[in-house]
Amino acid sequence: MCGIIAYIGKQKAVPILLEGLKQLEYRGYDSAGISVIQNEKIITLKAVGKVVELQNKIGAQDFLGKIGIAHTRWATHGKPSDRNSHPHGDCESNIFLVHNGIIENYQDLKKILQKKKHKFVSETDSEVLAHLIEEFNKKPASTRGDASSTRGGLDFKKSVLEALKLVRGTYGLAIINKNEPDKIIIARNGSPLILGIGKDEFIVASDASAIVRHTDKVIYLDDGEMAQISADGFEISNIKNKIVSKEISKLNWTLEESKKGGFPHFMLKEIFEQPEVIANGLRGRVEHFLSEDNFPILGGLRPIEKKLRRIKKIIIVACGTSYYSGLVGEYMLEEYAGIPTEVEYASEFRYRKPILDSSTAVVAISQSGETADTLAAIREAKNKGALTLGIVNVVGSTIARETDAGTHTLSGPEIGVASTKAFTTQLVVLVLWTLMLGRQRDMSSVMSKRIAQELKNMPKLIEGILKKSKEIKKIAKKYSYAKDFLYLGRKYNFPIALEGALKIKEISYVHAEGYATGEMKHGPIALIEENFPSIFICPKDSVYEKNISGMQEIKARGGKIIAIATTGDKEIARIADDVIYIPKTLEMLTPFISVIPLQLFAYYFGVAKGYDVDKPRNLAKSVTVE
């Protein structure tokens, strides 16, 4: 979940590393640090807090070194502090590294190393790796049968290889060595690393946002792979030191897409991008369902078309916001495709004993395509013979590569930690999959076209809601006193209640709970009083009257009510204290438009509280550790 960047080339490393850290800061912002090789020594600077604190510490110092590593941290072991910040070094300050992941057996390794007189300065698991590499780097080569370095021990690369053989856990690593100052070694196991290939330079990062300014040519490392990089080239091998041939890929987004574009925060920019990214996700796809093609198939799923026809059960695995999009998908797939569907927390999937076979499809939903728990769930499903499918945003991500087939959401880079446009573009794919699987079964062509046409209109409907942002801002400010919220919805909008509650928790740090409206009187209603407002998602749909009943129960107990309602609904205005109107659409598509006011409400509520909504405390964008 931390951000890693490394540079080797002909330019000064420090400005490039700092710029990269700023691009990666959404991955972690507890502390930051940098190490650069200069004048036959490694200079390391660290600072607690955001990257700007590190930048201030560097100040006007002019570092000439052209090779370095840097890191922005999301703490797992040890509180944020200078000594727990990365990069971490060995006893002699010869070897420094940055690490993303968790070393599960670090305590055992640390005890062994302490007996060998290694001195540790941090509370982290990561520091163990630096000392372990040091131990092999000074070990006499004659005892290992390996070529020695000028220091009489294993060379740098072999020291890293030997050390990683003893490690149990996950890692993305970038490592430098003062005694071999012309190279960087990187390694991956369960934590993403990308090698960017520029002109006379190489940039390594934990995701593409730190690379795109310099090059669009990249290589994605797979688990169990490492690379030795010099200014002249690179060599990729596996943990057994066998050379691996890798394809060079091209990044599919630009630097401009990762800038704020005049908005005060990335989150607001990404909320307002939703009409455009939804249109992008539909382009070239929705037309299949509006044509006379009886059994359309999405391009990424064509190779497994016959297998899709044999599916008897779907299990969706995901975490956080992606889990809630999966819940919406469950309603769609069961109602319109007629396929029994379950949605599982990916973090729990492996610890049950799921019943899987070749007629089961396990679908992973992940914005980053690197979510550790979701990736682990997919690997478990593959081992048990299930068909594995992916719905991810990042092309070339691990989940995209390891699933049997899938569909990209095409939402572009999402920088704000609280996910917005990723959610609605995941819904786009789930609707398209529902149409495709439904047409393979009992869905009529007439129904398919009706849904597809309304889906095609969705960007325009969302644009209309976004024009009400000032109105929603006023309502958010009105309720900025609240320390608790209850979000309520039924059927397709029950998952939206969960998502709305998550959003306000993530960026405003207030207590909020999402519930099915019918469950409200089975406990949560006890919390209701004047200063505990409720947000009802209550469009004119098949469960409208049931929602109205729940609203009356809240009102009878003095609770304040904000309603998300269908345009023209005058009855609801007599019950709710405030109403945000959304346009009429098909019931299965209401989540697209009911979630937009909740995203805006959470955003403006967080801003009213004075928080940095792009970088909420304790959170990171891509959860690449368990």
> Which ranges in the chain are annotated with CATH 3.40.50.10490?
256-456, 466-611
The reported pLDDT for the residue numbered 524 is 84
Q: Is the pLDDT of residue 621 over 70?
A: no
Whole-number pLDDT of residue 372 = 86
| Per-residue pLDDT tens over the stretch 591-607 | 999 999 999 999 999 99
- Set 2, 91, 319, 538: catalytic member: 2
What is the C-alpha separation between 487 and 504, in angstroms, rounded?
10
Query: pLDDT per residue over 460-495, tens digit each?
Result: 999 999 999 999 999 999 999 999 999 999 999 999
Lowest-pLDDT choice from 156-170, 203-217, 254-268, 342-356: 254-268
Burial grade of 22 (CB within 10 A; 0-12, 13-18, 19 or more): middle
pLDDT of residue 143: 42
* CATH no. for 466-611: 3.40.50.10490
Mean pLDDT across 16-21:
92
Q: What is the mean pLDDT of residues 350-364?
A: 89
Amino acid at 571: E
Q: What tens digit of pLDDT does each residue of 66-102 get?
A: 999 999 876 666 777 888 889 999 999 999 999 988 8
* CATH no., domain 256-456: 3.40.50.10490
SS3 579: strand
Alpha helices, DSSP H, located in 127-215:
127-137, 156-165
- If you classify domain 3-251 with CATH, what class do you get? alpha beta
Please report the DSSP string for 84-119 in residue order: TSSPEE-TTS-EEEEEES-BTTHHHHHHHHHHTT--
Q: What is the pLDDT of residue 77?
A: 65
Over range 249-277, report the average pLDDT. Answer: 82
The pLDDT of residue 40 is above 90:
no
Give pTM, 2 decimals.
0.75
Contact between 437 and 311 (Cβ < 8 Å): yes
Annotated catalytic residue within 46, 269, 505, 621: 621
pLDDT in tens, 507-518: 999 999 999 998
Please state the rounded mean pLDDT for residues 318-345.
Answer: 96
Query: Tens digits of per-residue pLDDT, 451-462?
Result: 999 999 999 999
Predicted local confidence at residue 151, as pLDDT: 47
What's the chain's average pLDDT?
89
pLDDT at 253: 65
Check if 2 is active-site: yes
pLDDT of residue 523: 87
pLDDT tens column, 546-568:
999 999 999 888 899 999 999 99
Lowest-confidence region among 54-58, 151-155, 225-229, 541-545: 151-155
Neighbours of 445 (CB within 10 A): 14
Radius of gyration of the chain (CA): 26
More confident residue, 298 or 534: 534
pLDDT confidence tier of residue 194, bands split at 50, 70 and 90: very high
SS3 assignment, position 349? helix
- Of 36, 43, 32, the closest CA to residue 9 belongs to 36
Q: Please report the pLDDT score of residue 297 as a whole number.
A: 86
Residue 400 has, within 13 A of its CA and on its CB side, a CA count of 16
Report residue 139's pLDDT band, with 50, 70 and 90 as the boundaries.
low
Residue 621 appears among annotated catalytic residues: yes
Residues of the chain with CATH 3.60.20.10: 3-251
Q: What percent of the chain has pLDDT over 90?
A: 65
What's the rounded mean pLDDT across residues 224-251?
91
Least confident window among 48-57, 429-438, 461-470: 48-57
